[in-house]
Amino acid sequence: MFALILVLFTAVLLLIITYLRRKSPAILRRIEAYERLNRVVGLAVENGTRLHISLGRGNLFTSRGASALAGLAMLRRLAERTSMSDRPPIVTSGDASLSILSQDTLQAGYRAAGAEDQYRVSTGRLAGLTPFSYAAGTIPVTRDEMVSANVVIGDFGSESALLVEAADREDIHLIAASDNLSAQSIFYASAQDPLIGEELFASGAYVGAGVSHEASLQVQDVLRWLIILAIGVGALLKLMGFNF
């Protein structure tokens, strides 16, 4: 019951803040990785090179699916912005359902840009169903497909070190984020522009995916303050002798 109430409260709060954001745009703090991403997208279109977006292996039916959804939100906007490029972006994933959704998201981005005839289903690929088969299927894309920037965002593990090494070997710019601690440590040490912690879930807002993504950041802030308040009140009541 508590979980249901929390979900309903969050949904209502998101709708309210989304409505308010339509009247006054949000002011977002500066994140270097997203600023660099916006620049490399423009350069890729001008230079006739590709973006490669790796969405990881997050199963949408588990708790790991949240990072995959964040990646899909970014993907739609990037597909829309690069739809007229000579070399459209390539998306790789390590989960069957995520691969199908990536193809649908790419098509939606092309449709929004009025260039649906430019969409090719082969640009959304299932690279492998195990961690290292996924890495093995993704590395050739970095090497052979005229890629100028890698955007690695989603659920990864230790295999992410292979993706980082491949990008470095080809001198390709790497923007990386994950919800997995081992992958975060690898990205922090190796990527030019790592995204740390909750910055992963801000991807939609920073690439201009819509007002609802900006509103979601404020909802996160509200929920965070409520949790801090609950912890503080609970500690105070414990000191006063109340037992729970």
Write out pLDDT tens, residues 35-51: 888 888 888 877 888 88
pLDDT digits (tens, 9 = 90+) for 47-76: 888 889 999 888 887 777 888 888 888 888
Q: Are residues 82 and 178 in the same domain?
A: yes
Q: Which residue is it, tokens 């906007």?
A: 77
Supply the DSSP string of 136-157, one letter for each residue. HHHHHHHHHS-EEEEEEEEE--
Q: Are residues 217 and 201 in the same domain?
A: no
* In-domain check, residue 23: no
* The two three-digit tokens of residue 23, written as one number: 């009247």
Q: Does residue 1 belong to any structural domain of this protein?
A: no
- Of 104, 93, 97, give the one whose Cα is nearest residue 56: 93
Indicate whether 105 belongs to any domain. yes
First and final C-alpha spacing in the chain = 18
The number of distinct structural domains making up the chain is: 2
Same domain (yes/no): 84, 128: yes
Task: Let me know whether 218 and 193 are in one domain.
Answer: no
For residues 227 and 142, membership in a common domain is answered with no
Identify whether residues 56 and 43 lie together within a single domain.
yes
Q: Which of 97, 10, 88 is nearest to 51 (CA)?
A: 88
Look at residue 24 and tell me if it is in a domain: no
Residue 162 lies in a domain: yes
* 171-to-87, 91, 111, 167, 191 alpha-carbon distances in Å: 19, 19, 32, 6, 12
Q: Assess whether 200 and 229 both reside in one domain.
A: no
Q: Is residue 16 part of a domain?
A: no
Same domain, 193 and 220: no
201 and 141 in a common domain: yes
Residue 19 domain-assigned (yes or no): no
| pLDDT lower than 70: segments of the chain | 23, 25-26, 243-244
- Is residue 122 domain-resident? yes
Per the structure, the complete domain to which residue 239 belongs is given by 210-244
Same domain, 242 and 180: no
pLDDT of residue 229: 92
Report the C-alpha gap between 207 and 231 in whole angstroms.
Answer: 34
Alpha-carbon span 47 to 32, nearest angstrom: 22
Sheet of 124-126, strand order: 124-126, 90-93, 50-56, 147-155, 173-178, 193-194
Query: Do 203 and 217 have their domain in common?
Result: no
pLDDT digits (tens, 9 = 90+) for 66-106: 888 888 888 888 888 887 777 888 999 988 889 999 999 98
Examine the domain organization and report whether 120 and 237 are in the same domain.
Answer: no
